């Protein structure tokens, strides 16, 4: 059972007690992501995520790391286009310590100028790593083309040019504008108790906003066709369609559609491209959803001389579904897969923490496991075909990456 507490300042605490585990997972979820940045700020959300680990008024970066290493716990964070999450997983006996340290990082980070300059070098390396990773490099450029001159299309890591300008003043200004109580959900799952909830409320329920919550402009997805060149052995292909938003009533249908087309190894694309023709090792599809837009993407890597053939096979598979739909048998198999993977993926406290954090941060309806399975079971083939065919009637956007001549 999930309990929700709203602190007097508006911070929400979401608790799911799991008495069959000794673990406690804690996540601080913030509605701050790269899509809320100005062009000059591009990358600052991710930079702040790094900087919160670099020392507080009472703890050095090494002391923060040693605290979790000594107790065998995990401390990490990630930045997405629409949120940031700082999370820790520890034994129940160390949960209060984890909350103390997370709160210290969240409110008392010093953003020392020397640490800022050092961390810029670390992120320069992270940017270079992405540039050396073909699928990451291609995805970044494709998103820029799908959402041109919009924050949603800008790279999460930012650029070397924007990163070079970041300083303590910019960090504090951005946090004051976005790290607001109404933008924060504390998700806790595992062997928690009332004392932990009281401590979280004491640490996070008293600070006040110093700015008004800003509204983001709804993104506009473009139809694009781009070709990139890079020193790569394999050609890369991405095909994208406008899709459903995260909160769409029929969003679960999209998950079934994706599973059937390219989400698993028995999917149509995997079987047609890899198993039947041997044209690729990597071929898959995936949905990306936000509260105000969605994109469904197919990705494949292949030898350059096979690129045209691979694209034709993919287009044939999608055209067949757009015309004739999917079958009852495919729907039954896909729903069984999704039911099994959904339950198995919730075998840890951290998984429950992450699921609940995402749901409540985005003001979605929370369904327990049995409700999710029942709702999935009730989806019909007709509903799935309606979603698939509505999506595939759009003109796709295409990105290709080939070896430099």
DSSP 41-62: GTTHHHHHHHHTTSBBSS-BHH
In contact, 294 and 324? CB cutoff 8 Å: no
Q: Which residues contact 15 (CB under 8 A, 6 or more apart)?
A: 2, 3, 4, 5, 188, 189, 192, 197
User: 313, 318, 236: which is closest to 282 by C-alpha?
Assistant: 236
> Are 159 and 91 spatial neighbours (Cβ–Cβ below 8 Å)?
no
- Contact, 189 vs 352, CB < 8 A? yes
Closest by Cα among 154, 157, 168 to 124? 157
Tokens standing for residue 121: 């070098």
Closest to 285 measured CA to CA, from 312, 258, 306, 250: 258
Return the structure tokens found at 393.
């009637």
89 Rama class: left (phi>0) / alpha (psi -120 to 50) / beta:
beta
CA angle 152, 158, 164 (to 5 degrees): 150
Tokens 């520890």, located at residue: 90
Candidates 15, 16, 41, 49; catalytic one = 49
Residue with tokens 């701050």: 32
DSSP conformational letter for 221: P
Three-class DSSP labels, 258-327? HHHHHHCCCCHHHHHHHHHCCCCCEEEEEEEECCCCEEEEEEEEECHHHHHHHHHHHHHHHHHHHHHCCC
Backbone phi, psi, residue 286, to 5° = -160, 145
d(CA 209, CA 179): 8
| CB contact set of 22 (below 8 Å; sequence gap of 6+) | 91, 92, 190, 191
Is 49 annotated in the active site?
A: yes
Catalytic residue ranges:
49
């Amino acid at each position: 059972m999930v309990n929700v507490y709203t602190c007097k300042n508006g911070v929400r605490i979401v608790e799911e007690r799991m008495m069959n585990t000794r673990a406690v997972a804690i996540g601080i979820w913030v509605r701050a992501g790269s899509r809320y940045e100005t062009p000059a700020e591009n990358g600052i959300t991710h930079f702040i995520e790094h900087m919160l680990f670099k020392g507080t008024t009472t703890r050095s970066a090494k002391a923060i790391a040693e605290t979790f290493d000594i107790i065998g716990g995990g401390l990490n964070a990630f930045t997405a286009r629409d949120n940031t999450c700082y999370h820790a997983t520890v034994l129940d006996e160390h949960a209060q310590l984890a909350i103390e340290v997370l709160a210290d990082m969240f409110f008392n980070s010093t953003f020392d100028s020397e640490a800022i300059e050092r961390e810029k070098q670390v992120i320069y390396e992270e940017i270079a790593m992405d540039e050396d990773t073909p699928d990451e490099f291609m995805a970044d450029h494709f998103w820029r083309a799908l959402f041109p001159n919009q924050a949603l299309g800008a790279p999460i890591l930012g650029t070397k040019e924007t990163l070079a300008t970041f300083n303590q003043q910019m960090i504090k200004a951005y946090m004051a504008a976005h790290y607001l109580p109404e933008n924060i959900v504390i998700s806790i799952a595992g062997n928690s108790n009332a004392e932990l909830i009281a401590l979280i409320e004491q640490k996070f329920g008293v600070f006040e906003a110093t700015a008004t919550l800003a509204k983001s402009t709804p993104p506009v997805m473009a139809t694009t066709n781009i070709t990139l060149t890079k020193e790569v052995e394999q050609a890369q292909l991405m095909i994208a369609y406008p899709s459903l938003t995260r909160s769409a009533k029929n969003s679960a249908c999209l998950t079934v559609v994706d599973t059937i087309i390219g989400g698993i190894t028995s999917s149509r694309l995997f079987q047609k491209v890899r198993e039947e023709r041997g044209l690729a090792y990597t071929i898959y599809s995936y949905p990306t959803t936000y509260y105000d837009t969605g994109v469904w993407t197919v990705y494949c890597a292949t030898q350059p001389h096979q690129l045209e053939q691979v694209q034709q096979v993919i287009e044939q598979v999608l055209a067949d579904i757009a015309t004739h739909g999917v079958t009852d048998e495919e729907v039954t198999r896909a729903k069984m897969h999704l039911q099994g993977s959904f339950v198995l993926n919730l075998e840890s406290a951290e998984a429950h923490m992450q699921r609940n954090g995402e749901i409540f941060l985005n003001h979605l309806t929370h369904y327990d496991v049995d409700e999710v399975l029942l709702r999935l079971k009730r989806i019909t083939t007709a509903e799935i075909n309606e979603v698939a065919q509505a999506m595939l009637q759009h003109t796709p956007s295409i990105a290709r990456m080939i070896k430099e001549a």
